[in-house]
Amino acid sequence: MRRWLKGTALVVCVGVALRVFFLWFEIAGLSTLDRTRQGWTFPSTVYSDWLTLRTSEPLPLEWFENYLRKAGYTEVSSADLPGPGAYEIQGDWLFVHTRPFFSPSRSEAYQGEQFLRIKDSSSSIDRLEVSTDGRSWTGSDTARLEPIAIAHFYDQSSQNREFILPERIPPALKNAVVAIEDRRFFSHGAWDIRAIGRAAWDDVKRGRAAEGGSTLTQQLAKNIFLTREKTLWRKFLELGVAEMIELRYSKPEILGMYLNQVYLGQDGAVSVSGVGAAAKYYFNKPVSSLNLAECATLAGMVRSPLLYSPLVDPERARSRRNFVLDRMRLEGTVSPEEAEAAKSRPLGLSLSRGRGREMGLYFVDHVRNLLLDHYSPAALTSQGMNIFTTLDPFLQEAAERALQDSSHEVALVALDPATGFVRALVGGRNHRSSSFNRATQARRQPGSAFKPFVYGAALDQWRSGGTSWTLASLLSDSTFTASLPGQPELWSPRNYDGIFRGRVTVATSLEESLNVPTARLTQAISPSAVAAFARKAGIESPLKAVLSIGLGTNEVTLLELCSAYTGFAEGGQQSFPFFIKSVMGHDGTILEEDALQRKSVIDPATAYLVTWTLNQALIQGTARAAVALGMTGAFAGKTGTTEAGHDAWFIGYSPEILCGVWVGDDAPRSSGLSGPGSALPRWMSFMKISGLDRYSMPFPVPPGIQFRKVDESSGLLARSGCPRVVTMPFAGDTVPLAYCAEHPGGVIGLLRRWFGVVPHP
């Protein structure tokens, strides 16, 4: 019996020793945020890009105000802005006191606070001035505001936390929590004997065990390592764990940990934990910007977030806040004047609480998938990373508004052709009903939206000494048949309108999106040449080099098609789609920073020839409805329609923005859709809502381009008597050497045309 007792005691001692040993290492891991315990997990936060303001660019005032509210700025009515995070509207002028912000870029680690003075005129910035003190103003072409949070990656516990370095937590908030929760925190050890004795006496008087007497260290130990059950054994464990925490960390470190994990309310199904998340939820501002009254409000909620919530009972919350301020005054951490001034302030709750969470859901899904290539799911939901993206909130909102109420499925990608930054992305009409991303995951036939690669391949052959195809070269638009691999019947393409036009120029064929001349051109240069050109331009999906390739019978995603079009928009330089600018750890260290990826894929002259022709397509070709819909800027674009109207496409671009729209159905059925009638209006709606339809610089003309007047019917240099003359660009030495012989000038030519001796083409 004695041997059995000794053995049992030995096993118990060894078990306790091992438990203490591992517990010590778990406690030591808190400094590096080794999230092994509930109560010490931090979701990652996804941010938009900086908001860059530029003079003369579109910026509707109501949209800018909405951005400021989402970023946690408060509108005031004082002539002097009270501090960072405030703005005021005075007539046509808007004043903003920006907050300092740590940039996600290694090259720009910090941006200090500044004052902005913005004059709005006709939904654009008429004048922009910057100041460091709010008194001396300097005119500027650009200014920036910090990104806004657009999403969080939560774990199964759905706890919203934001890790805040202890030194960035306002002293007023620390003092408020200590004053109301544990006023002797810095003078006692892990336990407070006085508080325990006081709590025990209260238990005796009440005749039951009541909560009380716990130090902040004990509360931290309970919240992270233990349960909330009210038993003597749990209290004993709490004291032991608290002692180990005190042995491992300093008082300021413990207070910082406590403030990062303390529960402070509920946002629907998501717990609001830590002062960082609470500051943004209740006041829509970073914790570093909280004033004394707001710090006291949060501190007062620690004891009972539901009972003292300003959202549930504002009067009770105000009374509790004032009680905290009185305790701070008694502790000497605020003066009587400061306490009274804080008592007179309103609660200052944010009216825009929670806005922005529904923004860019398909975009955020794609960002998550990209991150999972480098981080585990647990890391994304527990390590408090900050992910800075390329999303432009203005353009994303414009995209979602442009595609709302669609009777078909839709997708949109908008990117900066110079950088590849994806500025907006919509992958379907309703993310809640279907999270399948039709912009990045769905491969579909692009139809005529693929044709620019056919014409680009042909126009590019002059560089290699092959056939010098030009925009003035003639193609036959007449009956055409050919055999396709694996098909027993002959293939006979038809134009969309069923009309044959005889001879047409290469430019006209692309502008009017004619199928028959495109098939003939594909045959002339070879399907493999088309596939090679498209592959080089950036099409990554499998391409079958068959004759029908020119009519877009291979399947691609909207994102890759837009990426490949950047080669045309950027004078031959392809910009790879770019979603994530950088990832920062909870402590501000940069875990990764993506670099721009650009490569030369097309000769600049060839790219310009295609772009010039696609610009003509919006003026007088298949996309001419854009002008009727209100387009005023210089854009280039191409429609696309697949057989039986199953898919409709439009890719349009300027030097500043490239946007692609797809409209269709997930099920393979005839929908009667068309690029001009279905996709183009959605694209135009996006451009008008964002204001980009009015803002567009002309496409730069590369060296080696020459413009000549050409007779469309002959493809030769025009004479004065030619009836249909167009000025066309030519690359290098491909300018026609001969003049049109069909339409002589002078009186003889005029009489011949009048009397029908020479039929009018």
CB 599 within 8 A of CB 586: no
From 270, 72, 60, 258, select the one nearest 176 (Cα to Cα). 258
| CA dist list (Å): 490 to 321, 485, 531, 548, 587 | 83, 10, 22, 12, 66
Examine the residue annotation and report whether 48 is marked as an active-site residue of this protein: no
Q: What is the rounded distance in angstroms from the CA atom of residue 652 to the CA atom of residue 638?
A: 6
Q: What is the full DSSP assignment across 65-88?
A: HHHHHHTT-EE---SS--STTEEE
Strands (E), 377-519: 386-389, 409-415, 422-426, 474-477, 482-483, 490-491, 502-505
What gap in Å lies between CA 673 and CA 714, rounded to an integer? 35
Strand 580-584 vs strand 386-389: parallel, antiparallel, or unpaired?
antiparallel
Residue bearing tokens 């990832």: 583
Active site residue 448: yes
Active-site residue, from 146, 162, 181, 400: 181
**CA 620 and chain centroid, separation:** 34
CB 626 within 8 A of CB 676: no
Choose the catalytic residue: 273, 309, 382, 448. 448
| H-only helix segments in 640-697 | 680-690
Taken in order 568, 445, 441, 48, the sign of the CA dihedral is positive
Q: What is the DSSP letter of 676?
A: I
Paired with 266 in beta bridges are 271
Distance from C-alpha of 669 to C-alpha of 661, rounded to nearest angstrom: 19
Nearest by Cα to 451 from 642, 730, 680, 600 = 642
Short-list 589, 529, 585, 539, CA closest to 562? 539
116 and 130 Cβ atoms separated by less than 8 Å: yes
Strand, coil or helix: 431: coil
For residue 566, the surrounding DSSP H or E stretch is helix 558-569
Contact present, 711 and 722 (Cβ < 8 Å): yes
Q: Which H or E element spans position 117?
A: strand 115-121
* Helix, strand, coil distribution of the chain in percent, nearest 5: 40, 20, 40
Dist CA 611 CA 452 (whole Å)? 9
**Cα–Cα distance measured from residue 565 to residue 584, given in angstroms and rounded to the nearest whole number:** 32
Contact indicator for 214, 200 with CB cutoff of 8 Å: no
Q: Which residues are catalytic?
A: 181, 448
